[in-house]
Structure 1
């Protein structure tokens, strides 16, 4: 949030110390209330956005005059969604916008869902653009019930999932007693009418044309025009994955000279045996790799394809399918010899315990790390192994898992990788002298994390309170003497007077 960054950049050393104190897990409720009421903006921002808050502090926050403090709490990833929901009727639009928008993007996958009643209230009372932000905060149960919900505005949201709805639900929405719901359903149904699509398809490359070529029902005339006189370079690749493509065109595009088109075709579930055989020996390695994961192939056929899984890639939190995957298909993928299929299975949070144990020992790094990032019961040793072996940008996500281990991490205090040296800060048995030494490490992140370690000698904590770089982190140390906590806050009061 730009405003928080501006406040922090403008804060002086004393204000930053108080911001650190606001994050101190040992700070008493009374002190937190004082920081909320009289603390500088930097302390309020940290208090409201970077930690969980005791209920009395939340109670006081709800009527705090600083709308930005309320707004930061409304979108805090550390706050209980039920507590954030208490701001649903806040008088300020900024606060409402933050509540609807929810936690920042990096928290999207594991973003805690708002209570269903709160979501329904937001849908009914917030402005159009503002209400769109709740999309990632809707529970799976409410999302499933939206097309049949008694509230008409919620049913309107349900229509937005048109492509995934059953024929029965579509028919019910087309006959809905509310005219606005019926009209929206009719607008969605038009995309299944090839003649309507043919009339409305833009004649120039644009976002609307792309969406229609990818997803809408295409007439033969539209398909032929793309094949013979495409408007844009990517038109043929776009229609290659369209579900309405007739079999003869699938056959034609399976032999297209453009490897991107063939790769798109290789994803299709309706490939014939001849196309499967041809694409399995395609000269392009990306096409062969895509085809090698096709659900119609037997494991022996898969093994006969000359494919190579690239090293590296994104092995972070993944979106969960709704409705959940078929358990038999999930098991088939988990037991496959193909690493990409096992990675797909490893990203499913509903993977049963026996498959969790199996994939936790998988030889493929991508399988292990994807499992560690996504499964709620990923074992501690798997999380640590993933952090040790994986160097992707989302590596730090593993540290957010509550079962990430702590005991024994001091063993990495001498490691050449500063990210591993910083793990020592999580070890409750870290020797005080080693904690002290690591606050002088060459890496700033190691210094910052160790300044918060409760085993840090008291004298070093006091010393760091005067360190421009580490003062805020020392103030967040739970071993900080309570009398010093009071002194820091009292100094603020004296400065104000």
Structure 2
């Protein structure tokens, strides 16, 4: 593989950079590649040793440092530096997922809110650490911890009251979100409307929640399928201009039998009309 390190094709050099189990000397030559994509692929390679990881941490090439954050054996001090200087997004990083209990406690107590956010993405945190992060003053950390199972109703309501739209969508995905929490989310400002898609899904939502979600175009098809909706609302949804919403209402198990009969009658009538038009075309009659 080493003979391809200097190959003219950058695509081939990238394939070498992701290959595991090569000598560190080969990786060292790739780390000097002028194409940032090669170094970015190398940064993710779990076979690179700590010396190479620290070298790549100084590389300002496009996407190199962000790729390095996904290295499974990344030293935590390097992760701390990357968190300060790089937009890491909000995935659960392999190194954070593999952190020891002591490392988890250190990350959760870090001064940098990005580090607290990264560890809050874990869903197996001890209760004490989870509860401490649920009281975090930083919205990023709260947004990450909001879907964590085990949070009490009062904790979810408190974080919604503190940061509203910024945590609303994530709080709605919490498996322990009660009907009261979901109803409270529907009363947030218009900037929290993106949460409606999640509010409409949980089976434990009470009637006011899916009804409120009908005002949002993206949440409307989800809410239209909820069996809690009253018959009058379902019949109105059958006439919606969006076929997805009408179809969801038509498949709702709470749709009244007379509305089902009306639907099938209209379909049969359209089928007869289509056959008549087809017969007339066969006879040369203009439609």
Output the TM-score relative to the length of structure 2. 0.58
User: Could you tell me how far apart the structure 2 residues matched to 1:423 and 1:364 are?
Assistant: 22
Structure 2 match to 1:203: 7
1:47-95 residue CA offsets vs partner (Å, 9 max, x unmatched):
xxxxxxxxxxxxxxxxxxxxxxxxxxxxxxxxxxxxxxxxxxxxxxxxx
Change (3 A) 1:429 1:232: closer
- 1:345-383: per-residue Cα shift (whole Å, max 9, x none)? 21222211111111111222222222234x343445666
SS of the counterpart of 1:348? coil
1:205-249: CA deviation from partner (whole Å, max 9, x where unpaired)? 43442243465434648746865xx464666676678765696x8
Residue 217 (str. 1) matches residue 217 (str. 2): no
For residues 217 and 5 of structure 2, what CA distance do their matches in structure 1 show? 55
Note the alpha carbon deviations across 1:6-55, whole angstroms, 9 max, x for none.
xxxxxxxxxxxxxxxxxxxxxxxxxxxxxxxxxxxxxxxxxxxxxxxxxx
Q: Please tell me whether residue 359 in structure 1 is matched to residue 160 in structure 2.
A: no
Which segment drifts farther, 485-494 or 410-419?
485-494
Of the three residues 460, 467, 475, the one matched with 2:250 is 475
**Cα 1:209–1:326, aligned 2, differ >3 Å: closer, same or farther?**
same
Aligned mate of 1:389, from 165, 183, 200: 165
**Structure 1's 466 and 421: CA in aligned 2 closer, same or farther, altered over 3 A?**
same
| Structure 1 CA distance for aligned equivalents of residues 181 and 65 of structure 2 | 47
The answer for the alignment partner of 1:402 in structure 2 is 175
- Aligned equivalents of 2:181, 2:228: Cα separation in 1: 15
Q: Report what 2:60 is aligned to.
A: 259
Q: Secondary structure at the match of 1:466?
A: coil
Task: Decide whether the 8 Å contact of 2:108 with 2:115 is kept in 1.
Answer: yes
Determine the C-alpha separation between the residues in 2 that align with 1:216 and 1:368. 39
Match of 1:291 among 81, 84, 92: 81
Q: Say whether the 8 Å CA contact 1:430–1:455 is kept in structure 2.
A: no
Equivalent residue number for residue 279 of structure 2: none
Task: Call closer, same or farther: CA 1:335–1:473 in 2, change over 3 Å.
Answer: same
8 Å contact 2:97–2:122 — kept in the other structure? no
Identify unmatched segments of 5+ residues in structure 1.
Answer: 1-196, 277-286, 294-306
1:368 aligns with 2:142: yes
**How far 1:327 moved relative to its partner?**
2.3
Q: Is the 8 A contact 1:409 1:423 kept in 2?
A: no
Which residue in the other structure is 2:206 paired with?
A: 428
Matches within 5 A, 1:48-447: 197-199=1-3, 201=5, 203-213=7-17, 215-218=20-23, 220=25, 223=28, 227=32, 230=33, 232=35, 259-260=60-61, 291=81, 307=84, 314-315=89-90, 318=92, 324-373=98-147, 375-380=148-153, 385=159, 388-390=164-166, 399-407=172-180, 409-410=182-183, 412-413=186-187, 415-417=189-191, 418-419=193-194, 427-428=205-206, 430=208, 435=211, 441=215, 443-445=216-218, 447=220
How many aligned positions are there? Answer: 255
How far apart are the structure 2 equivalents of 1:450 and 1:492?
Answer: 25
User: Does the aligned pair in 1 maintain the 2:133–2:142 contact within 8 Å?
Assistant: yes
* TM-score normalised by length of structure 1: 0.38
